């Protein structure tokens, strides 16, 4: 996984052929491009992998070591992103599937994560306990985990 836009495209309006192709192929969204450019102005060292919009919030997915750079001193960058989007913004690390799943379902709990085999290959089955406590609905949790991991994910709520 790489950052949504290359360094050149963070700083100008036109896209280079490589980034244009990623956009045309649906690998990056208009919102990801917009946020990548805003974040670059706030902190040129801050990069993220993906951005997923849910009804409640915008989830920024990044490497764990980048979290502080994205959030900024005292949460300053995060506040600017919130103001811009008019929505809650959460920044989560994608390095570890299990801890990302735990963060997404909190204060509900991950009961189990298992690899199950399907007709088309395999998928990660995430079983959530105390589903009524979910703050992000289970469909969105699955969508975010798929985007972060590149794996097929099924979320089952108990």
Applying CB under 5 A, which residues contact Zn ion?
Answer: 6, 9, 16, 19
Please, which residues bridge with residue 58 across strands? 53, 89
Angle ∠(135,141,147) on CA atoms, nearest 5: 145
CB of 150 to Zn ion, least distance (A): 21
CB of 29 to Zn ion, least distance (A): 15
Contacts of 78 (CB under 8 A, 6+ apart): 70, 71, 72, 89, 91
Nearer to Zn ion, 8 or 158 (CB): 8
Q: In this structure, what token pair is assigned to residue 114?
A: 């298992």
CB of 37 to Zn ion, least distance (A): 11
Size (the chain), residues: 158
Nearer to Zn ion, 7 or 151 (CB): 7
Query: What is the rounded distance in angstroms from the CA atom of residue 19 to the CA atom of residue 27?
Result: 9
Q: In this structure, what token pair is assigned to residue 67?
A: 């979290």
Nearer to Zn ion, 9 or 60 (CB): 9
CB of 12 to Zn ion, least distance (A): 9
Nearer to Zn ion, 6 or 67 (CB): 6
CB of 7 to Zn ion, least distance (A): 8
- Pairing type for strands 50-53 and 57-62 reads antiparallel
């Amino acid at each position: 996984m790489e950052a949504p836009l290359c360094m050149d495209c963070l700083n100008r309006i036109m896209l280079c052929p490589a980034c244009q192709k990623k956009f045309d192929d649906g690998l990056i969204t208009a919102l990801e491009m917009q946020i990548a450019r805003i974040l670059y102005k706030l902190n040129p060292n801050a990069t993220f992998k993906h951005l997923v919009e849910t009804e409640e919030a915008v989830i920024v997915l990044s490497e764990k070591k980048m979290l502080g750079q994205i959030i900024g001193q005292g949460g300053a960058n995060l506040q600017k992103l919130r103001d811009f989007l008019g929505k809650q913004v959460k920044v989560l690390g994608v390095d570890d599937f299990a801890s990302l799943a735990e963060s997404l379902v909190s204060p509900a709990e991950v009961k189990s994560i298992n690899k199950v085999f399907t007709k088309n290959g395999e998928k990660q089955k995430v079983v959530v306990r105390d589903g009524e406590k979910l703050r992000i609905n289970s469909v969105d949790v699955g969508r975010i985990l798929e985007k972060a991991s590149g794996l097929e994910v099924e979320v089952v709520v108990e």
